[in-house]
Chains A and B, each alone.
Chain A
Amino acid sequence: MSTTQLILLQILNTGVTMGILMLVAIGLGIIYGLMDVINLAHSEFLMLGAYGWVIARLVGLDGWTGLIIAPVLVGLVGYVIERGLVQYLYRRPLDSLLATWGVSLILVQAARIVFGPAPQAVPTPLEGAVDLFGMPYGRYRLFVLAVSIVIISLTLAVFRYPTFGLKTRAVFQDAEMAKCLGIRAPRIYSTGFVIGAALAGLAGALVAPMLTVAPDMGANFLVQSFLVVIVGGAGSLVGVVGGAGVIGGIQGLISYFSSSVLAQVITLTLAIIVVRVRPRGIFTRK
C-alpha cells in the first residue's frame, strides 16, 4: 500500500469518525442551545441506540431493522425524559446537569440489568470491501459515511428552511420574544430534544457493528461530543458540525502520524485554548 493510499484511507476513516461525532454532538448542541439544558445523559442515548440491534435480534427481526428501531426507540425514550424531567429544568443548566447525570447512571445500570453486563456482538450488516483507488475499503464504513452525510444535511435543512426551522431559530435566539410572538416554545423544546436523542440513537446504531454493544459504551463519546460543542460553539448547528470536523480531523490526523494518546492531549489543550480565547466557539461569530 502506497503512502498516498494510506493517507486516503485515513481521510476516509476520519470522515467516518467525524460523521458519528457530528450526529452525537448536534443533539447536545440543540438541547443546550434551545433550553440551556446540559444533557449528560446524551451519551446514553447513543448506548441505547446501539442496543437497538440487540432488541431487534431478541424480537426476531433481522438485517437492517436495528438501524431503524434505534432512532425511533431512543426518540421515544428522549420524549419520556423530556416530559418527565427535563421540562422542569429549562434555563437551569446546573440543575439539569446533575439531574441528567442521574438519568445517565440509571440508564447505564438499567441496560446492565436488562441486557447483562457483558458486551454483545453486532454482526456487520454489510460484509466485505469495495475497491477504492486500488485498495480495499469496508462497505459498511462507506455506508456509515454516506448515512452521516445525508442525515446531517437533512438535519441542517430542517432547522434552516421549513417553518419549524424558522421558529426553532427564533427560540434559539430569544425564547421570551419568540413566545411573545406566539411561538409555542415548549413544543419546540420537546421536538428539539427528541430529534437530538434520535440522532444520538442513530449514531449508536451506526457505530455498534464497528465496535460492540456494552452498557458503558456511551462514556467514550460523551467527553468528545462535549469538546465538539465547546470548540465549535453551542450557539449554532453549523458551529457544532464545524467543531466535530475540527476535533475529528485533529484526532484522525494525529493518531495517524503519532499516537491516539497524543491526539487526546492535543484536543484537550485545544479546548482549553478555545474556552480562553473564543469562549463562544470557533464557529460562532461574536
Chain B
Amino acid sequence: MNTGIMRHKTSRTRTVLAGGIVLALIAGLFLLAGCGGDATTTTAAPSTEATAAAERTTATEASVEPSGDPIKVGVVSPISGPGAILGQGIVANAKLWAEQLNAAGGLLGRPVELLIQDTTTDPKTAAEKAKFVIGEGVDVLTGPVYGTEWGAVRPVAAEAGKILLQPVYYHGGWYDDLLFMTGEVPEQHVDKFIPWLVENYGKKFYFIGSDYNYPHAINRLAEEIILRLGGEIVGEEYVALGTTDFTAALARISKAQPDVVFGNVVGTDAIAFMKQFYDAGLNKSITMYEPIDQSFVSAIGVEQVEGVAVAQGYFETLDTPTNKAYVEAFKKIEPNLPPVDISTSAYVALQFWAEAVRLAGTTDPQSVKVKLEGLTLTDTPVGEVTMRATDHHTTRHMYIAIARNGILEVVEDLGVIEPGVDQRQVNRE
C-alpha cells in the first residue's frame, strides 16, 4: 500500500532495528539453549507456591525432637523461569524429604534445614546461588534442571568439594569425584524397551527428535538394538528446538508408514507434535513413544495421548505400598503437582545421601562419598536402586506405561537395568 515510509528514518534507526533482532535472537536462543542441555520433556502441573526468590524452610514437626545445629542442605532450583515446571517439583520433594526426616528424629540426631534458592533458570544465577549456599555451610547440593544450569553448578560444587546430587535423566557421560546421578541414561531407556516395542508393535521405526544431544544419543543406541532384532529405521529426522509446525514431518511419517514413531521431541514442542500427530489421524495406525510424564497428558489432551507408550524410571501409578504412601505424602506438600520421574529422582537422591550420612556418621563429603558408592536402597518410591560405585550412576528399575483415559498406567516392570557399561567411557557432549 504505502511506499517510502522509512524515508525519514536515519541509518541509526536501522542499526537499532538490527540490534533488536540480535537481541531477539539471543533471547530466543537463550531459551532454546535451556532445553538444549538435557532431557527436559517432563513437566508438572501448576503450582502457586514456592515462587519467592529466596526461601528457607525448616521442617520441625518431630516426634523424636532432633537437637543441635541443623544440617544444611542446598536446593538450588529453577523456581521461576522456563525450568519452573520441574524446579518446583524438585523443591516440593526436598521439602517432603526434610519433613519426613525431621519427623523421624532428624539426621545424626540433628534437624535438617533446606536452603532453597531460585536459579530463575539462569546458569549464571545458578552458579551464584550455589556459591551462596556453600558459603552458608552446606555439604550437599541438588536442584538444577537444565543442562546449562548443571554446567554452571558442577564446577562450583567440585571446587568447593561438596556433594552434588543430579536427578535429571540426561544423555550420559558425566562424572565428577563428588557428583552422583540418580536420573536415567539413554541405555536404560532403550535396552529392554526397544525389544518390547518390536515385539508388541512391529519392526519399522521412525526416529524424530529435537535437534540436540539427547535425541541423537538415544537414537544411536536404539538403532543398534532395532537392527540387531532385524528391524529397520524407515526415517530419521531432527527438528529445530522451538518448532511449532510439524506438518512437514508428519507428511513424511505418513508416507513412510512405520509401526512405531520413536519420538524425542521435547518441551512444549512435544505437545504441538503429539497434537498434530493426532489431528493428522496417524495415531490410528502408528504407535508413538515420547518421553512425556503425567503432567503432560492434561496439556496434550486425553484423546490425543491415548495409546502412547512411555518408558521411564518412575510413574505415579506404580502399584507398590511405598509409592502409594509417597504419593499421598507428596500431595500434602504439593497438591498441584503430580510427582514425576525427575522430581521423584531428586527425592531418591536425597534418601541416598541421608543413608550414606548415617553410615558415615558425618556429613563430610569425602566420607559420605565412600558410603554412597555401591549403596543400595531397597525400598524407594521407584523401587530398588543401587548407586554404582564406578561411575556414580544408578542401576534402577524401568517401567513401561501406556496412556489410558488420560492416565499413564504402568503395564510392565522391565526390572533392574544397568546404566550402560561405564558412563566414564561415554562421550556424548
Instruction: Please name all residues of chain B whose beta carbon is closer than 8 Å to the beta carbon of A121 when the two chains form the complex.
Output: 271, 298-301
Q: How far, in angstroms, from A227 to B240 measured CA to CA in the complex?
A: 17
Q: Mark B216-252, 1 if CB is under 8 A from A, else 0.
A: 0000000000000000000001111011110111010
Of A118, A124, A230, the residue contacting B17 (CB under 8 A) is A230
Contact B5 A173 (CB under 8 A): yes
Contact A36 B6 (CB under 8 A): no
The stretch that binds A, out of B39-47, B125-133, B172-180, is B39-47
Interface residues in B1-50 (C-beta closer than 8 Å to A) = 1-9, 13-14, 16-21, 23-25, 27-28, 31, 43-48
A238-B268 contact, Cβ under 8 Å, with A36-B9, A101-B23, A210-B276: no
Q: Mark A242-266, 1 if CB is under 8 A from B, else 0.
A: 0000000000100110011101100
Interface residues in A224-246 (C-beta closer than 8 Å to B) = 226-227, 229-230, 233-238
Interface residues in A180-215 (C-beta closer than 8 Å to B) = 207, 210-212, 214-215
Contact A9 B1 (CB under 8 A): no
Q: How far, in angstroms, from A117 to B249 measured CA to CA in the complex?
A: 28
Say whether A275 faces chain B, with CB atoms less than 8 Å apart. yes
Instruction: Please name all residues of chain B whose beta carbon is closer than 8 Å to the beta carbon of A63 when the two chains form the complex.
Output: none
Contact A1 B255 (CB under 8 A): yes
Q: DSSP class of A's interface residues: helix, strand, loop or mixed? A: helix
Number of residues in A with C-beta < 8 Å to the partner?
77
Interface residues in A104-150 (C-beta closer than 8 Å to B) = 109, 112-113, 115-121, 123-124, 129, 136, 138, 140-141
Contact A223 B5 (CB under 8 A): no
Q: How far, in angstroms, from A179 to B261 measured CA to CA in the complex?
A: 61
Instruction: Please name all residues of chain A whose beta carbon is closer than 8 Å to the beta carbon of B82 when the two chains form the complex.
Output: 117, 215-216
Contact A115 B46 (CB under 8 A): yes
A264-B20 contact, Cβ under 8 Å, with A6-B255, A234-B6: no
Q: How far, in angstroms, from A93 to B28 measured CA to CA in the complex?
A: 20
Say whether B405 faces chain A, with CB atoms less than 8 Å apart. no
Interface residues in B265-313 (C-beta closer than 8 Å to A) = 268, 271-272, 275-276, 279-281, 295-296, 298-301
Contact B244 A220 (CB under 8 A): yes
A124-B279 contact, Cβ under 8 Å, with A222-B24, A259-B239, A285-B3: yes
Contact B281 A136 (CB under 8 A): yes
Contact A236 B271 (CB under 8 A): no
Contact A261 B239 (CB under 8 A): yes
Instruction: Please name all residues of chain B whose beta carbon is closer than 8 Å to the beta carbon of A222 when the two chains form the complex.
Output: 24, 27-28
A237-B1 contact, Cβ under 8 Å, with A93-B17, A255-B248: yes
Say whether A71 faces chain B, with CB atoms less than 8 Å apart. no
Q: How far, in angstroms, from A123 to B300 measured CA to CA in the complex?
A: 9
Say whether A33 faces chain B, with CB atoms less than 8 Å apart. yes
A243, chain B: closest CB distance, angstroms: 13
Q: How far, in angstroms, from A94 to B276 measured CA to CA in the complex?
A: 39
Contact B43 A284 (CB under 8 A): no
Say whether B343 faces chain A, with CB atoms less than 8 Å apart. no
Q: How far, in angstroms, from A275 to B19 measured CA to CA in the complex?
A: 12
Contact A238 B2 (CB under 8 A): yes
A10-B247 contact, Cβ under 8 Å, with A109-B80, A212-B299: yes
Instruction: Please name all residues of chain A whose beta carbon is closer than 8 Å to the beta carbon of B355 when the two chains form the complex.
Output: none
Q: How far, in angstroms, from A174 to B20 measured CA to CA in the complex?
A: 23
Q: How far, in angstroms, from A209 to B320 measured CA to CA in the complex?
A: 37
Contact B2 A13 (CB under 8 A): no
Contact B2 A236 (CB under 8 A): yes
Contact B48 A118 (CB under 8 A): no
Contact B1 A160 (CB under 8 A): yes
Instruction: Please name all residues of chain A whose beta carbon is closer than 8 Å to the beta carbon of B255 when the two chains form the complex.
Output: 1, 6
Instruction: Please name all residues of chain B whose beta carbon is closer than 8 Å to the beta carbon of A279 when the two chains form the complex.
Output: 14
Q: How far, in angstroms, from A255 to B27 measured CA to CA in the complex?
A: 23
Q: How far, in angstroms, from A143 to B16 measured CA to CA in the complex?
A: 38
A233, chain B: closest CB distance, angstroms: 7
Contact B18 A13 (CB under 8 A): no
Contact B48 A156 (CB under 8 A): no
Say whether A167 faces chain B, with CB atoms less than 8 Å apart. no
Closest to B84 in A: A117
Contact A285 B272 (CB under 8 A): no
A97-B1 contact, Cβ under 8 Å, with A9-B251, A219-B28: no
Contact B251 A6 (CB under 8 A): yes
Say whether A172 faces chain B, with CB atoms less than 8 Å apart. yes
A18, chain B: closest CB distance, angstroms: 11
Instruction: Please name all residues of chain A whose beta carbon is closer than 8 Å to the beta carbon of B88 when the two chains form the complex.
Output: 117
Say whether B141 faces chain A, with CB atoms less than 8 Å apart. no
Closest to B6 in A: A235
Of A93, A216, A261, the residue contacting B240 (CB under 8 A) is A261
Say whether B211 faces chain A, with CB atoms less than 8 Å apart. yes
Q: How far, in angstroms, from A255 to B237 measured CA to CA in the complex?
A: 11
Contact A116 B336 (CB under 8 A): yes
Contact B16 A211 (CB under 8 A): no
Q: Which of A40, A118, A226, A237 has the most CB of B within 10 A?
A: A118
Closest to A233 in B: B6
B406, chain A: closest CB distance, angstroms: 10
Say whether B254 faces chain A, with CB atoms less than 8 Å apart. yes
Instruction: Please name all residues of chain A whose beta carbon is closer than 8 Å to the beta carbon of B80 when the two chains form the complex.
Output: 109, 112
Q: Mark B84-96, 1 if CB is under 8 A from A, else 0.
A: 1100100000000
Please report A residues at the B interface, Cβ cutoff 8 Å.
1, 6, 9-10, 13, 16-17, 32-33, 36, 38, 40, 93-94, 97, 101, 109, 112-113, 115-121, 123-124, 129, 136, 138, 140-141, 156, 159-160, 169, 172-174, 207, 210-212, 214-217, 219-223, 226-227, 229-230, 233-238, 252, 255-256, 259-261, 263-264, 271, 275, 279-280, 284-285
Question: Top 3 A-B pairs ranked by shortest CB distance?
Answer: A116-B46, A235-B5, A117-B84
